[in-house]
Amino acid sequence: MRLPNGYGSVYKLSGKNRRKPYIARRTIGWDDNGKQLYATIGYYRTKAEALQALAAFNDNPYDLQMSKVTFADIYKRWWDDTFDDDSNRSTTRNYSAAYKHCEPLYDMKMADIRPQHMQDIIDNCGAGYQMQKRIRILFNQLYRWCIQHDAIKKNYADQLSVTNDTESKTRTAFTTEEIEKLWAQVNKNKYVPLILMLIYSGVRISELLDLKKEDVNLDEQWFKVRKSKTKAGIRIVPIADKVLPFWRQFMASSNCPYAVCTVNGEHISYDNFQKIYWKPLMRELNMEHTPHETRHTFISLMVAANANQTILKKIVGHKSIMNLTEKVYTHVEIQTLLREANLI
């Protein structure tokens, strides 16, 4: 059967003992003498496989010069084009975490990846809804980069789905008994006090890990969050009396510029905190919580203590519409924040 003009061609190479004797190719132009110039799509065991590859190429044309570029290559090019030293650490950390789940695709040619390959990554990542969503977002970002650079014409990531597991979004506060258990362990594990610092401040774990010593005032018992997920998250947070000794201990333990560091004086990344500190601690203490549930616990404790709701919003950095009365508290004094934090 004759193929349409401009569609490409398939033929069998001469010679014996070729594992893949059939070649699929596409005309990409002509030289000065009018001779056709070809680009190879690939080599195949059978003519049927070669024709199928040619059909797939015509269905989703891509830059043949990019045909050998792997998923890992595209990720690096996209990363270099998208981020720099000033990029939000939380954003880059989320993309890095999502990329780690994509290891089976690292060496695959980007042009060979299909929806099922990516859906398998999402379905088998062993993570909850939020991570599944981040992986899908990463796939979309990479395909958009490819389309923008004429490497691929079709975004297969549009066909992916994630499981909206409502249980994965349910947060459970630490119980009174669990908090008492944490207090009983403060002298047995260096990082148990860190959990209590989170519970009694309401900050996100990323906000605490990225906090620098220069933004902490131990004498007046407060610190300033300069990097946060939201504009409302940039705020002053009081240091409760109960956990002030832990803050002093961490601040004095090393010359690391960050408020909280490893025993070797190194900055703790979110991924390392999860794998090396949080999960082993939860197993050791026979508890099942995520780091974010410390923030949920703080809010629950403050509500139970009848804390001023407007001041609570200020402490945790919740974005909300404030009425006229609440706006009076927009510039509350540190001592007012501290008084509320010490209710629990």
Least reliable range by pLDDT among 80-89, 200-209, 228-237, 323-332? 323-332
Q: What angle do CA 264, 206, 163 make, to 5 degrees?
A: 125
pLDDT of residue 63: 55
Structure confidence by residue, pLDDT tens digits, 214-264: 999 999 999 999 877 667 788 999 999 999 999 999 999 888 999 998 888
* Per-residue confidence band for 327, with pLDDT thresholds at 50, 70 and 90: very low
Is the predicted pLDDT of residue 213 greater than 90, yes or no? yes
Mean pLDDT for 278-292 is 91
Show the domains of the chain with their CATH numbers.
9-59 (no CATH), 71-165 (1.10.150.130), 176-341 (1.10.443.10)
At 27 the pLDDT is 75
- The CB density around residue 44, as the number of other CB atoms within 10 Å, is 20
pLDDT at 329: 42
Low-confidence winner among 4-8, 88-92, 118-122, 299-303 (lowest mean pLDDT): 4-8
- Averaged pLDDT for residues 185-203: 93
Q: What percentage of residues in the chain have a pLDDT greater than 90?
A: 34
β-pair partners for 258 = 212
Reported as a single tens digit per residue, the pLDDT across 117-172 is 898 888 878 778 888 999 999 999 999 988 876 678 789 898 898 876 544 456 78
Joined together, the tokens standing for residue 14 give 């001469």
Tokens representing 266?
A: 């190194």
Whether the pLDDT of residue 331 is over 60: the answer is no
105-to-59, 68, 110, 119, 321 alpha-carbon distances in Å? 22, 14, 9, 11, 44
pLDDT given at position 1: 62
Mean pLDDT score of the chain: 84
| Closest by CA position to 165, among listed 128, 214, 197 | 128
Candidate from 45-49, 98-102, 126-130 with smallest mean pLDDT: 126-130
Cα 31 to chain center, whole Å?
48
What was the pLDDT predicted at 50? 87
pTM over 0.85: no
pLDDT, mean of residues 22-36: 77
**CA 293 – CA 124 distance, rounded (Å):** 25
Instruction: Give the confidence band of 71 by pLDDT, cuts at 50, 70, 90.
Output: very high
Q: What whole-number percentage of the chain has pLDDT above 70?
A: 88
Decide if pLDDT at 337 tops 60.
Answer: yes
pLDDT band at 319 (very low <50, low <70, confident <90, very high): low
pLDDT at 164: 66
Answer yes or no: is pLDDT of 325 > 70: no
Across residues 74-84, what is the average pLDDT? 85
pLDDT at 321 > cutoff 70: no
Q: How far apart are CA 271 and CA 107, in angstroms?
A: 24
Name the band, by pLDDT with cuts 50, 70 and 90, for residue 314: confident
Query: pLDDT band for position 272 (50/70/90)?
Result: confident
As a dihedral over the C-alpha atoms of residue 211, residue 212, residue 218, residue 219, rounded to 10 degrees, the angle is -130
Please report the pLDDT score of residue 259 as a whole number: 94
Separation between Cα atoms, residue 138 and residue 117, nearest integer Å: 14
In one-letter notation, the amino acid at residue 63 is: D
Which residue in 158, 152, 144 sits closest to 81, CA to CA? Answer: 144
